[in-house]
């Protein structure tokens, strides 16, 4: 395959010299100057609020700006993909590619003893392009927070990347183990391949066809405004992300005819699933004051200029200290049955729902058929111990976020006109399904139990947000809808889902778009259901598997 050439049309620049992206810890965790200014439509279930939908607009995509939390979902998460008709895309089908994508460097013996790092080398076993490792620093309060989960009988896992992504465990960072800097897709892939060419600062505006065969792409320079047409010799691979992949398909005439017609676009293929099935991990923040904190603690980096300046100097001198640590390397991933005794009732409620009740009223019949199958799978997973619905990442901080990993609500991406310069309407339909609201309320109640455990009492936590005056279910629901619940945990996906066309699928197991030829999708859009994990490593695995599939077509 090395004799073949690959041209990537990249919307943004390669950012080479921004130290805030290179070092793991940064004052601005998610730099908006490197993001599309995407927002949802007003969300009915959030009292009409709009939310941010973060997406990178620089080379490397999300890997260039994310929290570097390099984890995988549970085996049960990926087995769900195969249960939806995607043979070969279950855990066993993806595991070789998870391994192939990374090069894992174990922590030193001294670091294991000092911080308590655990891992299973067999979960990695690869020599791939993406370095993953553990940082040479953790805040001391992290150990207290890790141990406190035992008070709630949450299982401690030696490793989460072996399919056991439930319980409490350590997660490595996408981090160079020597330089202690971020490793993204530009560093890991582009700079290593001579046959890989990058056309930066250009936006693809349309995929062009000869009959039903994808022939080329119209692109426009963001610097000069000039338009050019690029011909594909073998295949066009669409990897614009879960917002812009369905947008570009729709602008090119591939999508639900009703959406295309309303936007003034001629329909080439009435492919109903394009832009449907949008999923993400909704989340809410919590805030506490620790009255018995242990020094040093994460908040010092923003509260104490002297400490911050010393830590900054230490990092650039020795690549150690707090700035060598990203947003953390530990998390609790909790199954529903650990959260509430009502888990069977919740699962039963979900499995008895009609697929059409809580989705966009215009959802096509084929998409409803696929969604009905998803509801059955979610209901099944809610009764099992081997997958999670809750994530609470921690690193010694007093104010965590809590993410809901298995939402039942489904949103849409729809173009509103034929102009690539107009962002599509992003309707996440966050907590539109009342089961999601019910479970997110249980997440808050369980997180509160965690902060009240005997072990956590060593830190003296006092809740500030939502606050002790938010106590009843009605009060929790009120603040969730009015302010706390946010639509996107940076994990938007599933809008060009893999699956049979009759079930709302957009691509087959070969990643080729249904109804046309020479056009495939390789990004988070193709996930049929969002896994209970940060999505970056899953996208790497999808891409590695896609490479083998595409090479087999050559």
514 is catalytic: no
281 is catalytic: no
- Catalytic pick from 189, 288, 491, 514? 491
- For residue 245, CA distances in Å to 95, 492, 520, 524, 530 come to 25, 12, 11, 9, 17
DSSP state of 1: -
Q: How far apart are CA 69 and CA 118, in angstroms?
A: 16
- For residue 534, CA distances in Å to 195, 411, 488 come to 30, 19, 12
Cβ atoms 241, 423 nearer than 8 A: no
Please say whether the dihedral angle defined by the alpha carbons of residues 527, 533, 539 and 542, taken in this order, is positive or negative: negative
**Pairing of β 227-231 and β 213-221:** antiparallel
- Catalytic pick from 202, 244, 288, 534? 534
Q: Tell me which residue of 232, 272, 270, 236 sits closest to 253, measured CA to CA.
A: 270
- For residue 374, CA distances in Å to 85, 272, 353, 377, 524 come to 11, 17, 11, 5, 17
Q: How far apart are CA 306 and CA 243, in angstroms?
A: 42
Give, to the nearest 10 degrees, the angle between helix 434-451 and helix 343-351.
Answer: 160
DSSP state of 361: T
Token couple for 214: 């994808």
Q: How far apart are CA 312 and CA 304, in angstroms?
A: 12
- For residue 219, CA distances in Å to 3, 199, 202, 206 come to 25, 10, 6, 7
How distant is the alpha carbon of residue 212 from its chain centre? 32
Q: What is the set of active-site residues?
A: 491, 534
């Amino acid at each position: 395959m090395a004799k073949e050439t690959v041209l990537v049309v990249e919307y943004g620049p390669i950012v080479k010299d921004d130290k805030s992206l290179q070092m793991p810890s940064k004052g601005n965790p998610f730099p908006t100057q490197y993001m599309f200014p995407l927002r949802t439509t007003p969300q009915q279930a959030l009292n009409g609020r709009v939310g941010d939908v973060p997406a990178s607009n620089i080379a490397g995509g999300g890997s260039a700006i994310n929290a570097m939390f390099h984890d995988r979902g549970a085996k049960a998460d990926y087995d769900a993909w195969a249960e939806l008709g995607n043979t070969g895309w279950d855990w066993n089908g993806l595991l070789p590619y998870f391994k192939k994508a990374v090069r894992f460097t174990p922590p030193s013996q001294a670091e294991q003893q000092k911080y308590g790092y655990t891992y299973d080398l067999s979960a990695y076993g690869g020599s791939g392009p993406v370095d993953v490792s553990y940082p040479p620093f953790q805040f001391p309060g992290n150990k207290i927070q890790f141990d406190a989960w035992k008070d709630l009988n949450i299982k401690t896992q030696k490793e989460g990347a072996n399919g056991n992504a439930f319980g409490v465990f350590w997660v490595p960072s996408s981090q160079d183990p020597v330089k202690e800097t971020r490793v993204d897709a530009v560093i890991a892939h582009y700079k290593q391949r001579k046959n890989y060419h990058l056309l930066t600062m250009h936006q693809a505006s349309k995929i062009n066809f000869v009959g039903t065969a994808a022939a080329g792409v119209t692109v426009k320079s963001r610097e000069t405004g000039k338009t050019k047409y690029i011909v594909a010799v073998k295949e066009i691979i669409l990897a614009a992300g879960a917002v812009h992949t369905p947008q570009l398909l729709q602008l090119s005439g591939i999508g639900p005819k009703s959406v295309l017609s309303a936007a003034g676009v001629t329909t080439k293929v009435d492919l109903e699933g394009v832009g449907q099935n949008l999923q993400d991990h909704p989340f809410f923040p919590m805030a506490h004051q620790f009255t018995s904190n242990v020094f040093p603690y994460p908040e010092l980096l923003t509260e104490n200029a002297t400490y911050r300046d010393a830590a900054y100097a230490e990092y650039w001198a020795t690549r150690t200290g707090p700035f060598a640590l990203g947003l953390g390397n530990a998390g609790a991933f909790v199954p529903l049955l650990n959260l509430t005794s009502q888990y069977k009732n919740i699962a039963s409620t979900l499995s008895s729902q009609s697929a059409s009740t809580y989705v966009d009223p215009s959802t096509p019949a084929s998409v409803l058929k696929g969604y009905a199958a998803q509801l059955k799978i979610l209901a099944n997973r809610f009764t099992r111990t081997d997958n999670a619905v809750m994530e609470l990442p921690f690193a010694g901080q007093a104010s965590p976020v809590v993410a809901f990993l298995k939402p039942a609500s489904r949103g849409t991406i729809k173009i509103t006109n034929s102009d690539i310069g107009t962002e599509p309407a992003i309707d996440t339909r966050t907590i539109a399904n009342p089961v999601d609201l019910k479970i997110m309320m249980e997440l808050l109640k369980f997180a509160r139990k965690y902060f009240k455990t005997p072990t956590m009492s060593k830190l003296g936590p006092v809740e500030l947000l939502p606050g002790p005056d938010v106590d009843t279910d009605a009060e929790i629901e009120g603040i969730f809808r009015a302010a706390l619940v946010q639509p996107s945990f940076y994990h938007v996906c599933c809008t060009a889902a893999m699956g049979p066309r009759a079930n709302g699928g957009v691509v087959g197991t070969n990643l080729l778009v249904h109804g046309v030829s020479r056009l495939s999708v390789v990004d988070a859009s193709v996930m049929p259901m969002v896994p209970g994990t940060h999505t970056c490593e899953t996208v790497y695995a999808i891409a590695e598997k896609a490479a083998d599939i595409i090479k087999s077509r050559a």
